[in-house]
Chains A and B, each alone.
Chain A
C-alpha cells in the first residue's frame, strides 16, 4: 500500500500519465468527429501507424519537427479521404472499409520503412520534441508541445461541435441525414469533411509516438492504442470533455501498472499488469453500453435519392 502511495505522490508519475494520455486524447477526438457524423472509422490503428511513420520519415529527411506533424496530419487526411470515399460515396460497409484501411496503411508503412532502411539492426533515430521547460508550470513543463496541442484541441473541438453552424451540421448528419439534406446541407460534404479532419487528428496522434514519446519508428509501435480510442469514444458518450477524462483515466492505469512493475512491488506476473488497460477498456464499454446515446445514424449507410 505504501508503495502505491509512493507512486501517486511522485510528480514524475503524473508527468507519465499526461504523456501516455496525449496520443489517446488526440486519437479519441479524431474518432469522435467521425462517429458524430455517423461514420465508424476502424482505420485509426493503421492511420496512427502511417502517421507515426511518415511524420518521422519527414523529420529524418530534414524537415522541422512541426513539419513532420503536418506531414502526419496530411497522411491521415488522405487515408481519411479514402475511407470517406468508400463509406460515404460508395456506402460500403464501414467495418470492412476501416479494417481494410488499417491493413493497407500498416502494410504500406512497414513496407516503406523496410525499403528505406533495408539493412539496419537498430532503428535510426531523430531528435524529438523537447520538454517545455520555459512554461514554468508543474507537470506541464515536462511535456512536449504536442501534449499542449492535445489539451488545446479538446475545447477547440467542443467549441466547433456545439457553437458553430458546421458543428451543428456534423451532429445532424450523424443523427438524421435526411433531415440535413432537407435543410439544404450536403450529407456527403459534411461527412467527408468530418472524416478527413478526424483522420488528420489520428495521424497526428500517431506522430506523437515517433516525434515525442520516442525518437524512432518500431514495428508494433501503436500496439492497439487505436482500438482503445474507439472504446474511449463510447465511454465518453461522444463528448470531447469526457473523452479527455477517459483518456486520462486510462493513462492513469497504464502508468500505474508500469510503475508497479518497475518498483518491484509487482506481485503478479508482468503480463497481468500489461493486460490491465485492455481489460479496463472492455469493462468501461460494458458499463456504459446501456446508457449510451448513440448518434442515431451511426453505421447506417445513406444513399441520396434512393427510394
Chain B
C-alpha cells in the first residue's frame, strides 16, 4: 500500500470549554474521495480548518506528501497543495472572478500584475475540469452555483492536489449536486485526492470511497463506502441506533389562516414575484427550494420586516399588517433564519431578548417603564419549558450555544405571556408560525426538539410555514409541500405526491410546474 498523501496525527483543539477535536488521527490515500461525516457540531469544519491553517491545533501534527505541514498558515497549506472550498464562500462581491482567483498567487513585491497570463491560465484550468466561468464578471452578480464554481477554481488555479469541500451541496439542487459529483470524478481522474464533508448520508455513500465518522469531536469509525449502510453510518453519527424519522401527518385541518394572493416585493437580489399560497390551521406547509429564490423575501414579508409592492395578504380574514409588533399581537410566531444576526441581540441578557418582541404590546411595560419582574419570570418560564441551557435570564444571549439560542428564539415566539397563568388554554396557541431554516446548524438532539415543538403546535391548531434548504426535513415534516423558484411558488401538493426527482426539477425551475395556491 502506498503512503497516504495526507496524514493527520492526534489533532486536538478546544475553544474555551468546548472540545471541538479530540486526538483525531486520519489518513487520506492518493486518488480517493474520503467523506467526513458527522452531525452539526461534531467537529468536521474545525478539523479541516486546522488542516487549511485557519486555526492552529492545540496538539498533533499533519504530514502532506511526506512533508510536515506548518500549523496555522494558509499560505503553507496552499504551497503544500491543499485547497479548500469553504461552506460560506470566501469571495469579494465587488471584485471580478479573475481578481478573486488570482489573489495571493503572485508575490506582493511584484511590480506589475500579469493579468493576461492569469486569464489564460484560468481558462485552461476551467477547461481541464469542466468548470467554465467568465473571468471578468463581477462575483456579486453571479448565481450561487457559479460562485461555487469560482470558489473551486480558486483552489484548482493554485495547483491543489488535495481538495477539501465543506458541505458543497447545501446550496445546490439535486441536479446541480449530480453535476458536482461528475466534476469530482473528473478531478480524481486528473490525480487529485478529495475530502468531502457532509451530514447527508445518501450522498456520502453515493460519491465517496471511504467514510470517516466524527462524533462529539472524536473519530468514532472509518469504513469503506461499499461495506457500510446508511443505518450503520447514522448509528455511528449519533451513537445509538436511530430509526429514520417518521412522518407524522396532520390529523385535523382547520380553516384558512393566512392567504397570499399574487404577492410581489420590490426589486432586489431576492424578491417575491406574484407568489400565492394558502395556509390552514392544523397543517405544516413546507417550502422547498434552492436558497436565494425568494425564501428570505417570503419569510420577511410574513414577519413584518419587508413591505409588499403588489398583491394581497390576509391574516385571519383581515388585511395583514406590515408592522412586526402588530403581527406579534395578532398571534404570528416568527423564527428567523439568522439567530445570531436577526433573532437575538447578543449583548443583551436572555430576559431582555425573551420579551423584546412583546414590549410594544403592553404585556411587559407600564407606560414608559419596563416591568422587569414580570419579564424575568416570563424568561424563566421559557427557559424551563424549552430546555434552554447554558445560562439563566441574566446571562448575555451571545454566550448560549447555537442550539440553545434557537430554542430561546422558538420558545419566546411560541409562548404567549398569558399562558403563564393558564398553561393549557387554547387561546394562547399562535395562529401562524413562520419558521425559516429553524434547524440549520443544529445537532440531532436539538433538531428533534424543534421538530417536536412545531408538530405539537400544529396539532394544537396552529398554521405552520416551514422554509428549509433541507429536502429531508421538508419531505418528512411537511403535510403539503410547495417549491419556490424565481420568487414564485408552485402548487402546494401533498408531501407524498412529490418525488425527489420532481421536486428537484421544480427547484431548478423546470417548465410545466403549475403555479397556484
Contact = CB atoms under 8 A, between A and B. Distances in A.
Interface of A: 163-169, 171-172, 175-176, 178-185, 190, 293, 295-296, 305, 307
Nearest to A183: B104
Nearest to A178: B90
Interface in B183-224: none
Given A168-B99, A293-B94, A182 B74 contact: yes
Given A180-B103, A184-B75, A166 B108 contact: yes
B111 to A, nearest CB: 6
Given A182-B86, A184-B78, A175 B109 contact: no
Given A181-B54, A183-B74, A307 B108 contact: no
A138 to B, nearest CB: 34
A182 B155 CA distance: 10
Nearest to A295: B94
Given A163-B113, A164-B110, A175 B95 contact: yes
A207 B342 CA distance: 47
- 4 closest A-B pairs (Cβ-Cβ)? A184-B75, A183-B104, A175-B92, A179-B90
Contact of A296 (B56, B92, B99): B92
Given A180-B104, A182-B84, A182-B86, A171 B95 contact: yes
Contact of A183 (B15, B78, B111): B78
Contacts of B54: 181-182, 305
Contacts of B79: 184
Contacts of B108: 165-166, 169, 185, 190
Contacts of A179: 90-92, 100, 103
Contacts of A164: 110-113
B112 A169 contact: no
Interface in B69-118: 72-75, 77-79, 84, 86, 90-95, 99-100, 102-113
8 contacts: A164-B110, A164-B111, A182-B84, A183-B105, A184-B77, A184-B78, A185-B104, A293-B94
B55 interface: yes
B15 A172 contact: no
Interface string B50-63: 00101110000000
A175 B90 contact: no
A190 B109 CA distance: 12
A89 to B, nearest CB: 16
Given A164-B113, A179-B92, A172 B75 contact: no
A307 B90 contact: no
Nearest to A294: B94
Given A175-B94, A182-B54, A185-B104, 15 more contacts: A166-B110, A168-B103, A168-B113, A169-B103, A171-B99, A172-B100, A179-B91, A179-B103, A182-B74, A183-B103, A184-B73, A184-B74, A184-B77, A293-B94, A305-B54
- Of A163, A183, A293, chain B has the most CB atoms within 10 Å of the CB of A183
Contacts of A190: 108
B93 A165 contact: no
B161 interface: no
A172 B99 contact: yes
B458 interface: no
B480 interface: no
A161 to B, nearest CB: 11
Contacts of A307: 15
Contact of A305 (B56, B86, B93, B106): B56
Contacts of B158: 183
Contacts of A184: 73-75, 77-79, 104
A179 B97 CA distance: 13
B400 to A, nearest CB: 14
Contacts of A175: 92-95
Contacts of B95: 171-172, 175
Contacts of A181: 54, 74, 90
Nearest to A175: B92
Contacts of B339: none
Nearest to B111: A164
A166 B104 contact: no
A181 B56 CA distance: 14
A168 B74 CA distance: 18
A303 to B, nearest CB: 12
B154 interface: yes
Nearest to B76: A184
B90 to A, nearest CB: 4
Contact of A163 (B75, B94, B107, B112): B112
A61 B278 CA distance: 83
Nearest to A167: B113
Contacts of B107: 165
A175 B91 CA distance: 9
